[in-house]
Amino acid sequence: MKIGIDKIGMYTPKQYVDLVELAKHRRVDPAKFTIGIGQDKMAVAPLSQDAISMAANAAAKILTAEDKTAIDLVILGTESGVDNSKAGALYVQKLLDLPNRARVLEIKEACYGATAGLQYAKLHILQNPTAKALVIGADIARYGLDTSGEVTQGAGAVALLVSAEPKILALDLATSYFSEEVPDFWRPLNQMIAEVDGKYSNEQYIRFFKETFADYQTKTKYGLNDYAALTFHLPYTKMGLKAMREILPQVDEAKQNELQQHYQQETLYGRQIGNIYTGSLYLALLSLLDNDAILQPGMRIGLYSYGSGAVGEFFSGVLQPEFKAQLDPMYYLDLLAKRQKLALDDYEAQFTAQLDPESENQALTDDDPFAKYYFAGIVDKKRVYKAK
């Protein structure tokens, strides 16, 4: 029995900041942003789009009525949770009208949460082969205005439908993981923005990649030549390339060039959206699948997930015969093209705007044509989500 990704959907808000403009505003050489870290635009979420609504919007793109009936596991991976107790996935379940006879939970471990959910879902389908699982990574990356991490912010969600006999990517059963408590990134409970030691975090990302990739080689006997492409968690698009360069000497120059060419295709969406934490690896995967014309069924794709603090995991999957038919690249081309550029004054004002938790009733509206769901505000201290 095969188990893996049957469908994949993405959502990002309609607003973005142009990073060349931001660089000039911050008195930084624009090349530091566009070349040094490899980012062009940064998605910005309005108050009406949070991790819950973005998760529902990403999933709504791919789910049919038949899919919904079969789903009995819903997992939201996020570090942008809206409640210290209640799982955000419960709101998603209600918005999407998913069955009540389902396990519904939220997973937190920095940017690794969705991968933990995917591996949980894989084991669930192994035990329940007629069922389907919905795994979503949704986040708003925030580091603060005029900080070193500002340019690596972003917002969005990626939804994965997991099933037996998947039509996109059949996951190999083997996986390699490595965990260690390291203080590279954290967000105290009383803070809206994250703390990060950027240089140290980059070092840990690479160290964990080398640990997990080497262990996976030992477990599976797959060498670098066995992969058509490697996909990475991309907090910014140059990060994965730094890690991949550590292992490129294992293959000849022709294979090195091939892997780097595929890598460029996986960065295309991330360059326009930015960091979406738990969804970033799967945004890279979707970008690769949508934009790489060379990929063919039967090719093996490697995936590296990293969540600061820290957990890393490397695993792989094989592209299925019908994978191209499950994709909708023109939809995402349209979504990205029709976004609105924020003036920098508006971006800075919006960054600091928050609903007052002490106010009893606060209403929000949303006019994003690509969003079916939105955060409508707070009534009697309860969060309200609505469908359009």
pLDDT digits (tens, 9 = 90+) for 335-360: 999 999 999 999 999 998 877 666 66
Chain segment 116-171, per-residue pLDDT in tens: 999 999 999 999 999 999 999 999 999 989 998 999 999 999 999 999 999 999 99
Look at residue 367 and tell me whether its pLDDT is greater than 70: yes
Give per-residue burial for 110-137: e unless 16+ CB within 10 Å, then b.
bbbbbbbbbbbbbebbeeeeebbbbbbb
Chain segment 222-269, per-residue pLDDT in tens: 999 999 999 999 999 999 999 999 999 999 999 999 999 999 999 999
Q: CB–CB of 328/12 below 8 Å?
A: no
Which residues lie below 8 Å from residue 147, measured CB to CB, with a gap of 6+?
193
The pLDDT of residue 356: 67
- The mean per-residue pLDDT over the stretch 49-74 comes to 98
Greatest pairwise CA separation for the chain in angstroms: 64
Chain segment 280-324, per-residue pLDDT in tens: 999 999 999 999 999 999 999 999 999 999 999 999 999 999 999
**In whole numbers, what is the pLDDT of the chain averaged over residues?**
96
The pLDDT of residue 357: 62
Cα dihedral 183, 184, 188, 191, rounded to 10, equals 160
- Rounded Cα distance between 385 and 374, Å, is 6
- The mean per-residue pLDDT over the stretch 81-99 comes to 97
The identity of residue 246, as a single letter, is E
The model carries a pTM of: 0.97
The pLDDT of residue 358: 63
The pLDDT of residue 376: 95
Residue 260 gets which letter from DSSP? H
Round to the nearest angstrom and report the end-to-end CA distance of the chain: 39
- The mean per-residue pLDDT over the stretch 85-113 comes to 98
Active site residues: 79, 111, 233
The pLDDT of residue 352: 86
Could you give the C-alpha distances from 203 to 47, 123, 216, 245, 306, in angstroms and in order? 34, 31, 20, 13, 12
